Chain A
Amino acid sequence: MELTIESIEEVLSHLYGNGERDLDLRSVRFIDPFALLLLDLALRDARANRTPLHVEWPTLPAVRRWMTDMRFFADTRVVSPDLPLPEAGTALQPIVTIEDEDHVSRLVEAFDRRLSERFPLDDAPRRRFLRILLELCQNIPQHSNATGDVPDPHGIAAMQDYDDGILLAIADKGIGFRRSLALREDLGGLDDAAAVSSVVLDGISRFRDPGHGCELQRIFRLVRSWDGTVAIRSGRAFLYHGPLGGEIYDVAPFPGVQIALRIPRRVFGIGEPPSDERRVAAEGDSRFNE
């Protein structure tokens, strides 16, 4: 079992569609940052609603090690399973909390440092990536609680590199696109799918000022031009656009906005890892989490 952009919906449907409170993740062999952030927010959401989840954590040491290195257990305040872990981890950018706008520049600097330490990146794509990061991070303090009635939107971000690309995930459990757009009188009647489409495909925002909006639209177009993958979830709508095309799907309801960008390594001017490294990873306990 793998928990990824493409498969985490099964878990959310189990919890938010069927109302189950038990979650068995023991057989999970791989988790990507998007799935990890959604698990994080689901745990917090359940706790806030006083309906805690009973989770059986992955038994594979490499997966638990990655989750620990990604600060998942620290961020969710879940007691980590008391099992032996492998010594070396490969987490690229552990989960960070996006508290306010003043915090965003420091956070982006940390991401830049992590990336630069691991890869000699070309300057132009590195700048484009940091601009994407700046826009996505500041959306959380600016929009996730625009109505002022969400006690803790809990914006978080994480990043991991793989053989085929770098995956950036940013998520919150705030008001989501539909309620944000509804702050404009003329956009009050949209459902979640129409709201996602309006924001991402049409560049509409809750502000009438022409300089606002279009950031997600531009990011969406940019990542598509790189043959990357864009996944954007808000409420009951999930926009998924991969190299073969895209669509907006109906999904189980979940608060806030969750975004994943999978950007091919060649965009950054970094090749695939040496074949020896790929072989070792493929033969290990986990495809990527090791």
Chain B
Amino acid sequence: MNRMNSTSIDIARFGRRLGTRSEGASARREIVSAIDRLPDDGQLVLSLHGVDVLSGSFADEAIGKTCQLLTSGAHGDRTMVIASPSVDLTEDLSDKLAQRKLAILCRVDRAAPPWRVLGQLARPLVETLELLMDRESATTKELAEALGIAPNVCHNRIRHLVQLHLVREERMGVSAPNTQYRFHSIV
């Protein structure tokens, strides 16, 4: 399931130095349109390669507001990630996402580990997310056991990650008393 349909947008097509809120709003329209064209479980990769400067204002209009839309559920289970050539390019984007209490996964070239979270995500949630990324998929029970925490605590964490579109849930079928889900890494 984590080999999902993916498409990419080069943010550099909007310019090398980005910029103003009005430029960001124009870019957002194209980004949202690309998300709409994805299949239900599709993923949009926003590539920052070729971008020299990404300001907070542009990032908030183009990416922050799109993230907000995704977490509102307006685009189903579709997800979005960032690919960046460097960490410093994403600094203002990360601040803006934190302002909105959002988070997004970012793959940084030649970095170890390659994936990091931009925005605001509490340490226990990062820990849970990293474990799921290592395992690729797991149930709440499996994650709770591996983390050494109570299942209901793990359930709350994973629900939060699903809401932020940082992990994907798969319904496994109904068995009393609760519906069973399996959770998948999106990267």
Contact = CB atoms under 8 A, between A and B. Distances in A.
Interface of A: 101-102, 104-105, 108-109, 112, 124, 127-128, 130-131, 134-135, 138, 142, 210-215, 218
Contacts of A138: 20-21, 57
A267 to B, nearest CB: 13
Interface stretch (B29-37, B93-101, B130-138): B93-101
Contact of B99 (A104, A124, A131, A210): A210
Contact of B20 (A104, A124, A128): A104
Given A105-B19, A109-B17, A134 B53 contact: yes
Nearest to B95: A218
A130 B17 contact: yes
Interface string B29-63: 00000000000000000000000111111101100
Contacts of B76: none
B162 interface: no
A215 B57 contact: yes
B89 A211 contact: no
B64 A130 contact: no
Contact of A210 (B52, B54, B100): B100
B88 interface: yes
Nearest to A203: B99
Contact of A130 (B53, B56, B60): B53
A127 B57 contact: no
A131 B55 contact: yes
B77 interface: no
B95 A214 contact: yes
B124 interface: no
Contact of B17 (A105, A124, A210): A105
A135 B55 contact: yes
Contact of B89 (A104, A127, A142, A214): A127
B65 A127 contact: no
Given A128-B88, A211-B64, A215-B56, A134 B20 contact: yes
B15 A105 contact: yes
Given A127-B53, A128-B88, A101 B100 contact: no
A142 B23 CA distance: 13
B26 to A, nearest CB: 11
A130 B19 CA distance: 10
B88 A124 contact: yes
Contacts of A210: 99-101
A142 B60 CA distance: 15
A-B CB proximity, top 3 nearest: A211-B60, A134-B55, A124-B88
Contacts of B15: 105
Taking each of A101, A109, A124, A211, which has the highest tally of chain B beta carbons within 10 Å of its own beta carbon? A211
Contact of A127 (B19, B56, B88, B95): B88
B22 interface: yes
B92 interface: yes
A101 B99 contact: no
A101 B56 contact: no
Given A104-B19, A105-B17, A211-B64, A131 B100 contact: no
Contacts of A104: 19-20
Contact of B23 (A105, A213, A214): A105
Contacts of A130: 17, 52-53
B53 A101 contact: no
A108 B91 CA distance: 19
Contact of A134 (B57, B61, B64, B89): B57
Taking each of A101, A134, A135, which has the highest tally of chain B beta carbons within 10 Å of its own beta carbon? A134
Taking each of B15, B17, B91, which has the highest tally of chain A beta carbons within 10 Å of its own beta carbon? B17
Contacts of B65: 211
A166 B21 CA distance: 27
A108 B100 contact: no
A135 B23 contact: no
27 contacts: A101-B20, A102-B20, A104-B20, A105-B15, A105-B17, A105-B19, A105-B20, A108-B17, A108-B53, A112-B17, A124-B86, A127-B52, A128-B88, A130-B17, A130-B53, A131-B53, A135-B55, A135-B57, A138-B20, A138-B21, A142-B21, A210-B99, A211-B100, A212-B60, A213-B99, A218-B56, A218-B95
A128 B17 CA distance: 12
A256 B169 CA distance: 52
